[in-house]
Amino acid sequence: MDDCIFCQIAAGKIKGLRIYENDKTLAFMDIAKDVDIALIKGYLG
């Protein structure tokens, strides 16, 4: 899944403003103007 944008953000290959992070959750600012924060939970492996 190296081409998955969320995997790249989680791996630090794509920069993002991380708001919160632990071993199972990553929250970061979304670049879209209609959404403030993107939340990935249970996706990080």
> How much is the pLDDT for 8?
87
> How much is the pLDDT for 45?
53
> How much is the pLDDT for 40?
64
Total domains, the chain: 1
Per-residue pLDDT of the chain (45 residues; tens, 9 = 90+): 567 888 888 888 988 788 888 888 888 877 776 666 666 666 555
pTM across the whole model: 0.60
Three-state DSSP at 9 gives helix
Q: How far apart are CA 14 and CA 5, in angstroms?
A: 8
Range of the domain at 34: 5-41
Q: Classify the C-alpha dihedral 37-12-15-3 as positive or negative.
A: negative
Q: How far apart are CA 36 and CA 13, in angstroms?
A: 21
